[in-house]
Amino acid sequence: MSITQAQAEAAIIAARQAAVSIGVPMNIAVYDDGANLKAFERMDGALLGSLDIAMNKARTAALFGFNTEALYDFSKPGGTSPGFEQSNGGLTVFAGGIPVRDHDGRLLGAVGISGGAVTQDFEVAEAAAAAARAA
């Protein structure tokens, strides 16, 4: 099972609404369980440099099935896996990438958001992931 078009569209719409409600235009990415792009939108005014970050957050969360910020524990100074974040062509290990699972816990894909402060990215990503799950 992989994330569907309907779930991806629900994630994009929910992220867009959450971004508007906090007044921060965002880059919104959805990846499937094979770590391939499923859907994307760069809102008007969203930071161009955050395009790559949003995509890589979604890819990272899809590759490992964890929130991106959780992966920092592996690679941080004193962590178990120094240089972990350089695997897979370079991972993003701060908040804004969240996996999407089905009701049985199977990984379907992930969303990635970038364009604001990390806490804002995370908040919008939560809205997107919740909408994908519910769709």
Using CB under 8 A as the binding rule, whether residue 122 contacts its own copies is answered as no
Q: How far is the CB of 130 from its own copies (least distance, A)?
A: 20
Binds its own copies (CB under 8 A): choice among 72, 73, 130, 133: 72
75-94 residues near its own copies, rule: CB under 8 A: 75-77, 80-94
The structure tokens 């719409």 sit at 13
- Host H or E run for residue 100: strand 97-101
Indicate whether 98 belongs to the interface with its own copies (CB under 8 A).
no
Applying CB under 8 A, does 103 fall inside the site for its own copies? no
For 28, phi then psi, to 5°, come to -125, 120
In this structure, what token pair is assigned to residue 87? 């695997």
Q: Assess contact for 62 and 32: CB atoms under 8 A.
A: yes
Would you count residue 133 as binding its own copies (CB under 8 A)? Answer: no
- The DSSP H or E segment spanning 8 is helix 5-22
- Give the number of residues in contact with its own copies, rule: CB under 8 A: 53
Q: Segment 16-45, which members bind its own copies (CB under 8 A)?
A: 32-44
**Residue 45 burial (C-beta neighbours within 10 Å; 0-12, 13-18, 19+):** exposed
Binding region for its own copies (CB under 8 A): 1-2, 4-5, 8-9, 32-44, 47-53, 56, 60, 62-65, 72, 75-77, 80-94, 117-118
